[in-house]
Amino acid sequence: KNQVEQSPQSLIILEGKNCTLQCNYTVSPFSNLRWYKQDTGRGPVSLTIMTFSENTKSNGRYTATLDADTKQSSLHITASQLSDSASYICVVSDNAGNMLTFGGGTRLMVKP
Amino acid sequence: EAGVAQSPRYKIIEKRQSVAFWCNPISGHATLYWYQQILGQGPKLLIQFQNNGVVDDSQLPKDRFSAERLKGVDSTLKIQPAKLEDSAVYLCASSLDLQDRGTDTQYFGPGTRLTVL
């Protein structure tokens, strides 16, 4: 069964600090992995998408990494801002791109 | 570019009542998805359409849930009758084309928050 596990479930950090969110998956065969940011009361918004051959991708202060061998991904947030407070969802597609498996998300709170 | 529109934004009903949600995808997007997101969890796909045809509805509780996309544009999701466990946010998303789904970005609407009492 395809699964995506995210950790931690929730995280509180101080403004300006860095943090790293983890995503482990068992989806096979693998096509791509996406990170979404979901603000409270809003729909998810795509941050990054990585295919099998990519091991890192950046979007501003967000940097995602992918290790397809260990089936792990991380999302690193640099110099956090209050607006980074949100849920971050990891989504993995199978080889045909026909099945998306969503992780449960990590709820990040950035405090001043 | 206008985003995915959903209405209503909030709905409170009693169990056993019926409810319908509406979604208007981004113009030109062939693929439309409905997700159920229970508080504290990631979204769960209920149904996906390619134009006006159903591609996958394997996780749709068909005894009470139904969805349609008659003209390949707007879509409605209905629950009849609702149960307490249906309380969730119902997200609609669209993307350009299912064929490119492997790398195609889904754009999500703001969701409809349903509370069943």
Q: Per-residue pLDDT for A10 more than 80? A: yes
The pLDDT of A62-85, averaged and rounded, is 96
Q: Tell me whether residues B101 and A32 touch, CB distance under 8 A.
A: no
Distance between B17 CA and the closest CA of chain A, angstroms: 24
Contact present, B82 and B19 (Cβ < 8 Å)? yes
Q: Per-residue pLDDT for A41 more than 90? A: no
Q: For chain A, what is the mean pLDDT?
A: 92
Of B104, B105, B109, the CB nearest to A43: B109
Q: Alpha-carbon distance A78 to B29, whole Å?
A: 34
Q: Alpha-carbon distance A64 to B40, whole Å?
A: 22
Q: b/e for B53-67, b at 16 or more Cβ within 10 A?
A: eeebbeebeeeebbb
Q: Tell me whether residues B102 and A4 touch, CB distance under 8 A.
A: no
Q: Per-residue pLDDT for A22 more than 80? A: yes
Residue B3 neighbours by CB distance under 10 Å: 15
* CA A33 to chain centroid: 8
Distance between A16 CA and the closest CA of chain B, angstroms: 26
Q: Tell me whether residues A42 and B4 touch, CB distance under 8 A.
A: no
* CA B105 to chain centroid: 16
Of B45, B105, B108, the CB nearest to A43: B108
Distance between B95 CA and the closest CA of chain A, angstroms: 12
Residue in A6, A40, A42 to test binding to B, most B beta-carbons within 10 Å: A42
What pLDDT is recorded for position B100? 52
Say whether residue A102 is in contact with chain B using an 8 A CB cutoff.
Answer: yes
A95 pLDDT tier (thresholds 50, 70, 90)? low
What pLDDT is recorded for position B103? 60
Q: Tell me whether residues A51 and B103 touch, CB distance under 8 A.
A: yes
Q: Per-residue pLDDT for A16 more than 60? A: yes
A77 pLDDT tier (thresholds 50, 70, 90)? very high
What pLDDT is recorded for position A28? 82
Q: Alpha-carbon distance A92 to A29, whole Å?
A: 10
Among A108, A107, A70, A100, which residue's Cα sits nearest to residue A3? A100
Q: Where are the beta strands (DSSP E) in A1-112?
A: 4-7, 10-14, 19-25, 30-38, 45-51, 56-59, 62-67, 72-77, 86-94, 100-102, 106-111
Give first-to-last CA distance, chain B, whole Å: 37
Residues of chain B with pLDDT under 70: 1, 98-104
